[in-house]
Structure 1
């Protein structure tokens, strides 16, 4: 028996899970996730996706699409670092970036002494020491240190591939995988 089949058997027979997709056989731990998944098989739901014509990013709502398009249609303000020439989109990003040149790191890890520019970076770093993984996948129970890692992981379950190659139309789960693909073509 394959690992996937064994996991499915465990969830259905021993954990009392009763949310099984009739289209593809995926098993779900909770009803809201199951309902959301089932909608992905609905042709009316599938046509309500918005693909950016500039970068081929796929978005699931018109609101998200409009917000995304402002990046392309814009004048998007750009701020240039006078030390290294790096360009960023917001003044706050420029201020944080400049701290890297100044060596200004105000947040210190009490365990190992590593210092950070941003408080959030320190919070995420401390999880290395505490082994805390506060973000859990509702479909397979895998845990993550960062919300962004969970969001990327969820794409393996949903099949969502928002980053498309302009040359061959192959789609990818992350920007990094798309960039790796572009280097090889």
Structure 2
């Protein structure tokens, strides 16, 4: 009924709401980085018991999830599901900004970081008003103007033989 009547539990940090106190407590571990579930094999910590259960499988040699196409084995069902996409030639994760597509959400997230990097570089481009070359820093632009156009800065002409465009 709590699902239908509202979510009374609220995170004091990000204001996300939950229908159960246990879900809020689990959520708070993300903010505090508390990892109470420890792997006895390697010592890695997890904020959810289910994550530890999945992790423990990585220490086993068992590969119970078999590919129906090539019979390759996997420790986790999610890895098999991702692998099958290779055989089906499907790339369900598509970039909204370019034609890039991939099989895993993580790969798309990594790809999207490149767009953010490109955008930040574009916002820092300095263009030469004389020849339209672009530079990532004002210092490089000034150096270019001095060396290539004989200017002390990008607006003052130093030599008489410089022809404006």
- Please report the TM-score for the alignment, with normalisation by the length of structure 1: 0.44
Larger radius of gyration: 2
TM-score, normalised by the number of residues in structure 2: 0.48
